[in-house]
């Protein structure tokens, strides 16, 4: 039986909940990236409950950052060991960002095994938010010896290999983004008048999502603008501290690669994608698929970022509620800059359905794919490139 390498975008409403499977199709390895908002937990729990009972130990849970549309489902899932357990959890919680943060020495070998020594594994006395309480006692950032997960400013990008041969290369966050998150996190606690040593209050606070997440509605372009080849402006660039702290990575198996970008900032991704292309000696980094940053936000995409990658297949995780993602400007820029782009959406919604209209497809030459059933999410076979 051929090897499996498959990404599934669960129906996570306005958030992210991604299941990556690889290896023997009869008994694949799995990792989960984010859990979506609380309202989407039913889809996540049903998907995990459908797994054979002896296949519910997943190799990794990545909680990309503290925003509710990524973390709330994880908060509930971690109370249900009957659905899933994890060999390791990657998450930069308060115990990590509250400590002194330093770049590792350039020759520390951070990419290949050695870890930064400053503050490795330390726990701040300010025991953080509820997710920290729920993760504590489990394997937490073990691949980094308990230290914060971040990309050093110099040297090779950090690489970790999971059981079964999946290679993960870190793209975000950088150390300065974690420092910025620490300040925003501290200010949010102060504004809420929460004693950082009061565990009950921190549990109630959860992840402070309203303090960290940007909001606002963009006016929708006219149909003429959508069809036009004239550039529609992106930006202004996202500067939210929580989004900048997102764990983003490239997952690679049997020569296939997918970039999973969380809500990471475009300038950070542009720089690290350029570094990775140079490491691989490629003029532009070849990728088989990219999960767009921040649900297709125009504030998390740039033409410079697009110029660093060679990729036709782009995935968008959102139902378009709350924040009106994906932004038309982002999708318009993408289909103009990427000939024959393939767009995969885990919802057919008023925000996404426009991209299957014949006039738009004729103007830009892209393809659009949607779930076969309402609310079913969408998957991509990375070995064959076939959406499902």
Task: Assign 289 a pLDDT band (cuts: 50, 70, 90).
Answer: very high
Dump pLDDT digits (tens) for 23-58: 999 999 999 999 999 899 999 999 999 999 999 999
pLDDT the model gives residue 212: 29
Task: Assign 227 a pLDDT band (cuts: 50, 70, 90).
Answer: confident
Share of the chain above pLDDT 90, in %: 68
pLDDT the model gives residue 288: 98
Average pLDDT taken over every residue of the chain: 86
Dump pLDDT digits (tens) for 136-181: 789 999 999 999 999 999 999 999 999 999 999 999 999 999 999 9
Q: Rounded CA gap, 183 and 384, in Å? A: 44
Query: Is residue 87 packed enough to be buried (19+ CB in 10 Å), middle (13-18) or exposed (0-12)?
Result: middle
| Res. 72: pLDDT tops 80 | yes
* Range picked from 87-101, 106-120, 167-181 for highest mean pLDDT: 167-181
Mean pLDDT of 260-287: 98
Decide: helix, strand or coil at residue 362: helix
Query: φ and ψ at 176, to 5 degrees?
Result: -65, -30
Task: Assign 132 a pLDDT band (cuts: 50, 70, 90).
Answer: confident
Which residues are bridge partners to 344 per DSSP?
Answer: 315, 369
pLDDT the model gives residue 356: 96
Asked whether the whole model's pTM tops 0.85, one would answer: yes
Dump pLDDT digits (tens) for 323-340: 889 999 999 999 999 999
pLDDT the model gives residue 211: 32
**Cα angle vertex 64, ends 213, 88, to 5°?**
150
- 93 near 64, Cβ under 8 Å? no
Query: How many other C-beta atoms can be found within 10 angstroms of the C-beta atom of residue 30?
Result: 24
- 352 near 345, Cβ under 8 Å? yes
Dump pLDDT digits (tens) for 3-22: 999 999 999 999 999 999 99
Q: Give the CATH class of 3-387.
A: alpha beta
């Amino acid at each position: 039986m051929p090897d499996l390498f498959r990404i599934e975008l669960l129906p996570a409403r306005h958030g992210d909940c991604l299941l990556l499977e690889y290896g023997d199709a009869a008994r694949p390895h799995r990792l989960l990236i984010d859990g979506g908002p609380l309202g989407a937990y039913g889809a996540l729990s049903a998907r995990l409950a459908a797994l054979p009972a002896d296949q519910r130990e997943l190799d990794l849970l990545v909680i990309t950052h503290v925003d509710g549309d990524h973390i709330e489902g994880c908060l509930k899932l971690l109370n249900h060991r009957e659905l899933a357990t994890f060999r390791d959890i990657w998450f930069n919680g308060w115990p990590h960002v509250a400590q002194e943060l330093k770049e590792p020495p350039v020759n520390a070998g951070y990419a290949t095994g050695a870890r930064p020594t400053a503050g490795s594994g330390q726990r701040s006395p300010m025991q953080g938010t509820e997710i920290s309480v729920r993760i504590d006692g489990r394997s937490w950032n073990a691949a980094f010896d308990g230290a914060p997960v971040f990309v050093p400013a110099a040297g090779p990008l950090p690489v970790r290999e999971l059981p079964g041969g999946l290679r993960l290369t870190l793209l975000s966050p950088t150390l300065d983004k974690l420092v910025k998150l620490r300040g925003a996190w501290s200010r949010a606690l102060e504004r809420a008048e929460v004693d950082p040593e009061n565990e009950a209050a921190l549990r109630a606070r959860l992840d402070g999502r309203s303090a960290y997440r940007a909001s606002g509605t963009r006016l929708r372009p006219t149909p003429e603008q959508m069809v036009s080849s004239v550039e529609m402006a992106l930006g202004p660039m996202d500067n939210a501290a929580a989004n900048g702290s997102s764990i983003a990575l490239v997952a690679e198996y049997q020569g296939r690669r997918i970039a999973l970008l969380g809500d990471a900032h475009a300038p950070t991704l542009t720089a690290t994608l350029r570094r990775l292309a140079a490491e691989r000696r490629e003029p532009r980094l070849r990728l088989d698929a990219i999960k767009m940053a921040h649900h297709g936000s125009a504030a998390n995409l740039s033409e410079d970022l697009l110029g660093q990658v060679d990729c036709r297949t782009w995935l968008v995780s959102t139902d378009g509620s709350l924040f009106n993602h994906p932004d038309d400007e982002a999708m318009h820029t993408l289909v103009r800059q990427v000939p024959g782009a393939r767009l995969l959406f885990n919802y057919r919604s008023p925000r996404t359905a426009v991209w299957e209209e014949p006039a738009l497809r004729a103007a830009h030459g892209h393809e659009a794919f949607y779930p076969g059933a309402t609310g079913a999410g969408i998957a991509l076979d990375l070995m064959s490139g076939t959406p499902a």
